[in-house]
Every structure is written in structure tokens, then in C-alpha cells.
Structure 1
């Protein structure tokens, strides 16, 4: 199981970092809207006597020259908590980078409710006030570390919060993979690819490919084939302590990506080694937050309120 998180008090949050999505999309809030929200948050925090630090890229992008800014490594050493304004993708990027520093994260969503950015812009001020007074629900999430080996040499090594995905090239046929878990041969698989996901990532690409939902507190790693040639190749959940070795046996132009960000081209004989990272991420939510509420909202499980009423 993941480590038990500790309780928080107002004194737990003296230095607060703020990050935002770097390139707002056309359908999201404009850069001016986001800058206004960032300023509103920063001014509120400063009024409560707290030190506010923006990530350098965020300060530059939104012209927040009158606030203190630092690079992410310095923030990792200094901050008591980080507030991330954006979507789940923004949170994933910041979470991976802050994981080695054990800085807890609060997610404020620019648009629709996210799986891990669960506070709306409309609700952020009263909820932030409550959370920074110590009224928070905290949880820890696991990460994966992935290594690409070629001819015995490490070609790439990074963290993944959601998943490590091997996939065929856009113009090629199926890729053939040989998978071992903890040194035990599991299978050869011909498919469009393979997803190795954390419980957090079980609601991302893994879910779209037919994988199971895993509660974030579970200690497991899910392997989900993408359009396998043999229908008997099904998703499987292995222990969090497992070391998964995937060798590229056949297929052209395949690649591996980590949280859909860091991408490397693969060659036949390449090995991708995936296991749990020693780092975890702590998310802070409003008091009373429930993972099941988020699932119900995102997956539209609230279509039949009369059923909910009967179960109360």
C-alpha cells in the first residue's frame, strides 16, 4: 500500500508555488483570464502573510513580473505546496518534475472538472481558504520509472505518472512484443501496442483501450494490450513491486512514450524496463473529497439520481 499521508495545519503552508498551463488552447480561458486568476490567487495568499513564488515559465508567459519567480528545482527545495492551474495534462507535467521533492499539489481546473485537477475556477477562492486552514483531504499516488535499453546501454530514462505506452508506427503493421514479469516469461503479443499504467493512469489511455479502473490507493500496475491479434490477450494487474521487461521482437517504426510526452523510436531487440518509482505524489483536495464523486462526474455515472436516492 502507499504510505499514509499526514495531517496539515495552517502553518504547513508558508511558501506556496503557483504554476499554470503554458499555452492556453483556443477553447479554454484566454491568457488574460488565466493571468487574472493567477493574480487573484497570489494576492489572496500574500494577504494571508504567505510567501508566493511563481514558476519562471509561468511568470514569463503571463507577464507576472511584479511577483517572485524561480525555476522548478529551486521551488522544489523551497515550497510547502504547489498550486497548479490548468488541466490534468498540466498537472502531470508538474507532478513528474516535483516528485523528487515531495511537494504536495493542489489542482485548479481551467475548464471542466479533471480527474486530478478537481477545483473549478469559480470555486477556487473559498476552497483555497478552507484548504490552507488545514481542511484538506490528502492522498498519495504512485509513479512509474521507465528505462529504454539498446544493446546493453541506457538510451532513455524517465518518470511516468499515468503510463508507459509502446505502440506501432502510424503506417506500419502490428508490433510483436515479448513480456517478462519479475524474470518470468508471460507472453509474446502481436498488437497495436501495450500500455503499462499506474492506478492514476487507469482512467487515461488504459481505460480507452478496455483496461480496468484501479482505485488510486491500490498497489498495482496494469498491463493493457492495444487491439491485440489474439482476443485471449487480456488486461492484467500485477503487483506494484513487479519489474516488467518488454522486448521488441518484430514490427517496424514502433515507439515508446511516457505520459504521451517523452517519445523514443524503437528498434528490434530494444528492451523497455518498467517498475514503480521510489517517489510518490501527494494531492491535496477539499475536505470531503471523494474519488467516487470524481468518477461519477467524469464518467457520467450520475444519470439516474433516483437510484442514488434509494441507496441513501
Structure 2
């Protein structure tokens, strides 16, 4: 049966060992399925693969109807943030470690991809986060995140004091090492390490997780993603804000970090029969020790 996807972009974690071989093997397979294959520009320039057409991210968004991402979750999040505005669906082939959203093992890619290219897949849409840092009434940093927005204390300083508001309503002043605002996708990342709950990706919510809070009764809380969260720097030195892999260092007292739901979603495609719970069991080793 002919592929449902005519034009497929390949994006790779090009500094990973064996990435060139993996990309070539996947490209050859896609050709056998009748797909036109294009390499994303940075992937092409860093792997030295010259036998395929090349497009920048905007070109991929305009001309391709599927993006295959070969790498780990970080690679997927980096390109996914850029492609979300174009609505291009993403398939992840895992060459990283955990792989919560790059869930197809490289050794199994042909078996998994063949039916997916025919249209047999599970669609998984996830809202992104839009965040900005406002200083003296002026936006000094604006970023989109998929996993989380994190306010951290300085490397050598003590705790930071943060004022938290939801939809303009005061929630609490808290002293801690920092604060994580995580999406359901990010609930399996830093927020999980800090003691936050797992949130199923179908839930329209965020989790607010303090990092080593001074008051032990300050616990994680799940909030609707329909509102706006604001975090103001009240006290503490050298605080920073991180939006997935994007950072703004040296926040000042009075700086306000606001987070709201983005207008864009990432669209992941998984093999037919994929289950979020299967992923959790596998990646978090929930079934170890069970007879």
C-alpha cells in the first residue's frame, strides 16, 4: 500500500555516535516506501550527508507532511518547538536514553514505521507553554517550552523567595531552591525528580512543584492550563529561568515570569496500540521484580 506521507523530513542528533549510519538507513527505507526524503539543514551540514535535498526548519514546515526525529527526547523537543506552528506531525526514533516521546527503538524502526506510513498510528497531541520574563513592564525574554519552566536559585547563593500568583490571585510566597511549572509531558522530567506527580497527557493541566522548599508543607499542586501563572522574584541572588533548554540568567528582584498555554500543540505519532502506561512501565521500570 502506498505511503500516506509523500514528503518526509529527517532530523538527527548529529553528534551522537552512529547517527550518520542511522539516518542513511532510515532514508533508504523511506525511499523503498515511496517517500520523498529531505534532510533538515543542520542535520545535513553536521553529518556530511549530501545525497538528499536540504530544507531549513521553515522549509520543512512548509513542504513536508511528516518529520522523523532520530535521537532522544531533547532532540525531539528542540525541533518540535520550531515545527509546532506548522502542524507537522512528529515520529521519534530513539537513540537517546529514556525516550518518553521518542519511543520507537532504532532496531525496530522498519517494523514500526511500515504500517505507520500507511496511516496506521496513534495520534498524540500535546499543548505547549508560552512564557515570558517581564522587567519594569517590558518583556526581556520570550520562549516556548514543552516540558517545563523552571526558576532556580543561583549556583552559590542561598534560597530564593518567590511570589506565586494564578490568574492574578495571590497563592503564596515561598522560599525554596526554585520552582518548576511542568506540563504533563514535563511531569516525567525534572518535576518527577523533585517529587511531583505524573500527569496523563490527556489532562489539560500543569503541575507546580517547589524545589527543596523551606516550608515542608509546601507541596506540589496541579492546576488548569487555561489560566496564567506568574512567579515574581522577591529575594535571592543570581536566580535564573530555564524554558526547556533555553535559559535566562541573572534575574532581578521584581522580575515576573508569566506562563500560559501556547496557541500551538505538538503532534506526535506512535505505532498502533501504543499506550502511555506501557511507556511508563518500560521507562520507569515499574515491572521489575514482578514474577
TM-score, normalised to structure 1, is 0.91
The within-5 A match list for 1:79-94 is: 79-94=64-79
Match of 1:216 among 195, 201, 207: 201
2:42 aligns to what SS in structure 1?
helix
1:138 aligns to what SS in structure 2?
strand
The answer to whether the aligner puts 1:16 opposite 2:1 as a matched pair is: no
Tell me if the contact between 2:141 and 2:248 (Cα under 8 Å) persists in the aligned partners.
no
| CA distance in 2: counterparts of 1:305 and 1:10, whole angstroms | 43
Please give the per-residue CA displacement for 1:143-181, whole angstroms capped at 9, x wherever unaligned: 101000000000000100000000000000100000110
Structure 1 residue aligned with 2:38: 53
Structure 2 residue aligned with 1:4: none
| CA distance in 2: counterparts of 1:62 and 1:196, whole angstroms | 35
Please state how far the C-alpha of 1:23 moved relative to its aligned partner: 2.2
Please state how far the C-alpha of 1:305 moved relative to its aligned partner: 3.7
| Farther-moved stretch of structure 1 (259-268 vs 275-284) | 259-268
| CA distance in 2: counterparts of 1:257 and 1:48, whole angstroms | 41
Please give the per-residue CA displacement for 1:243-267, whole angstroms capped at 9, x wherever unaligned: 0011000000000010033333200
- Return closer, same or farther for 1:112/1:180 CA change in 2, 3 Å cut-off: closer
Match of 2:102 among 97, 106, 117: 117
Structure 2 residue aligned with 1:274: 259
Please state how far the C-alpha of 1:111 moved relative to its aligned partner: 4.3
Structure 1 residue aligned with 2:189: 204
Structure 1 residue aligned with 2:178: 193
| CA distance in 1: counterparts of 2:176 and 2:250, whole angstroms | 17
| CA distance in 1: counterparts of 2:8 and 2:248, whole angstroms | 32
Structure 1 residue aligned with 2:83: 98
2:206 aligns to what SS in structure 1?
strand
Please state how far the C-alpha of 1:199 moved relative to its aligned partner: 0.3
Match of 1:129 among 111, 114, 120: 114
Structure 1 residue aligned with 2:130: 145
Tell me if the contact between 2:2 and 2:33 (Cα under 8 Å) persists in the aligned partners.
no
Which portions of structure 1, spanning 4 or more consecutive aligned residues, are displaced by more than 4 angstroms? Answer: none
Match of 1:43 among 21, 28, 34: 28
Structure 1 residue aligned with 2:247: 262
2:226 aligns to what SS in structure 1?
coil
Structure 2 residue aligned with 1:67: 52
Q: What residue ranges of structure 1 are gaps of 5+ in the alignment?
A: 1-8, 25-29, 307-312
1:245 aligns to what SS in structure 2?
strand
TM-score, normalised to structure 2, is 0.97
| CA distance in 2: counterparts of 1:207 and 1:298, whole angstroms | 13
Tell me if the contact between 1:222 and 1:237 (Cα under 8 Å) persists in the aligned partners.
yes
Structure 2 residue aligned with 1:240: 225
Structure 2 residue aligned with 1:289: 274
Tell me if the contact between 1:176 and 1:249 (Cα under 8 Å) persists in the aligned partners.
yes
Please state how far the C-alpha of 1:112 moved relative to its aligned partner: 4.0
Q: What residue ranges of structure 2 are gaps of 5+ in the alignment?
A: none
Tell me if the contact between 1:84 and 1:106 (Cα under 8 Å) persists in the aligned partners.
yes
Task: Give me the CA root mean square deviation.
Answer: 1.3
| CA distance in 2: counterparts of 1:61 and 1:12, whole angstroms | 29
